[in-house]
Amino acid sequence: MGATRGFIVPVGGAEEKIGDVAILRRFASLCGGSQGRIAIIPTASELAETGGRYEELFHSLGVSVARSLPIASRADCQRREWLDVLDEVEGVFLTGGNQLRLSTMIGGTEVARALRRRNAEGMHVAGTSAGAAFLCEHMIAFGREGASPRAKIVTLAAGLGLTNRIIIDQHFRQRDRLGRLLTALAYNPFAIGIGLDENTAGFVGPDETLEVVGSGALTIVDSSELEFSSMAKVRKNDPVCLIGLRLHILNDGSTFNLHTRLAAPPPVVAKRP
């Protein structure tokens, strides 16, 4: 019997780092808590202190090892000592910044192959903001904001490829990104669109069930029953007609199964008499 895949955890960015750090605490616990070892890849960020900041955060949550791998070039992705770290940890956390830094420096390298292999073997992989966008096979590289889908306002690029079931957009409500997620799905409605508000994460387990954690909303766009798309007919910047989409707005504790495409609200907590 094959190994059980690890969790895939996209975070919408601006996760709480002081006080109620529910998302980071949940990830640390998932990776083993006081016995856990987490590698941080701060490549998306151009700030030198990013990796060290997350080392401090995970150490404050009690993990035994939190080590930053400051990959700054494709050559860095061949460093044996860093590849050895990825073979030893229970989790990897990709920070925010610019997702094209991740795809251009890590895509197609030994590090990318190690991340896919280790996730398939059970290692958990989380990414926040740009790191979240990079987790999937199809990544939103950039695009215009706004509520309506419009032709050619989104550019897609190849991502890490941990899953091909979803396309992720982050800072979703804060930056008005429904239109660009819908546009990305209009190109090919195979995937499920996930829009993550800030301080909101989707913990996608090996059974393909996503659980929402955080203070914001997670938007699901299910295009599996799409009846019509005008994408092939419209000119650049024209609105796109999409008929038959399903939309779910989920909050903390809600779930969505990526296989059955069924959503469920948070469980009811019985009130004390």
Kindly name the residue from 15, 55, 198, 211 that is annotated as catalytic.
Answer: 198
The answer to whether residue 259 sits within a structural domain is no
What domain range is 158 assigned to? Answer: 8-252
Q: Report which of residues 3 and 208 the model is more confident about.
A: 208
| Token representation of residue 177 | 């990104």
pLDDT of residue 2: 65
**Mean pLDDT within 62-80:** 98
Answer whether 202's CB lies under 8 Å from 181's CB: no
Residue in the structure block whose two tokens are 């070892």? 37
Q: Report which of residues 250 and 20 the model is more confident about.
A: 250
Answer whether 131's CB lies under 8 Å from 218's CB: no
Answer whether 190's CB lies under 8 Å from 221's CB: no
Report the CATH number that the domain containing residue 168 is assigned in CATH. Answer: 3.40.50.880
End-to-end Cα distance, the chain: 47
Residue 121 annotated to the active site = no
pLDDT classification of 1: cutoffs 50, 70, 90: very low
The answer to whether residue 30 sits within a structural domain is yes
Distance of alpha carbon 132 from alpha carbon 152, whole angstroms: 22
- Bridge-based pairing state of the strands 138-143 and 154-158: antiparallel
Distance of alpha carbon 209 from alpha carbon 49, whole angstroms: 34
Kindly name the residue from 45, 90, 171, 229 that is annotated as catalytic.
Answer: 171
- Does this model's pTM top 0.85? My answer is yes
The answer to whether residue 265 sits within a structural domain is no
The answer to whether residue 199 sits within a structural domain is yes
The answer to whether residue 273 sits within a structural domain is no
Domains identified in the chain, total number? 1
Q: pLDDT at residue 253 above 80?
A: yes
Distance of alpha carbon 116 from alpha carbon 187, whole angstroms: 25
Q: pLDDT at residue 272 above 90?
A: no
The answer to whether residue 191 sits within a structural domain is yes
Residue 198 annotated to the active site = yes
- Residue from 251, 262, 135, 259 nearest 207 by CA: 259
CA distances from 16 to 48, 158, 166, 196 (A): 20, 29, 24, 14
Answer whether 5's CB lies under 8 Å from 122's CB: yes
Q: pLDDT at residue 270 above 90?
A: no
Residues 14-65 have pLDDT tens digits of 999 999 999 999 999 999 999 999 999 999 999 999 999 999 999 999 999 9
The answer to whether residue 201 sits within a structural domain is yes
pLDDT of residue 215: 97
| Token representation of residue 38 | 């987490």
Residues 119-150 have pLDDT tens digits of 999 999 999 999 999 999 999 999 999 999 99
Kindly name the residue from 45, 68, 103, 129 that is annotated as catalytic.
Answer: 129
The answer to whether residue 205 sits within a structural domain is yes
Residue 34 annotated to the active site = no
pLDDT of residue 3: 83
**Mean pLDDT within 63-86:** 98
Q: pLDDT at residue 259 above 80?
A: yes
Residues 159-217 have pLDDT tens digits of 999 999 999 999 999 999 999 999 999 998 999 999 999 999 999 999 999 999 999 99
DSSP character for 136? B
DSSP string covering 59-128: HHTT-SEEEE----STGGGG-HHHHHHHHH-SEEEE--S-HHHHHHHHTTSHHHHHHHHHHHHT-EEEEE
What angle do helix axes 80-88 and 110-121 make, rounded to 10 degrees?
A: 10
pLDDT of residue 156: 97
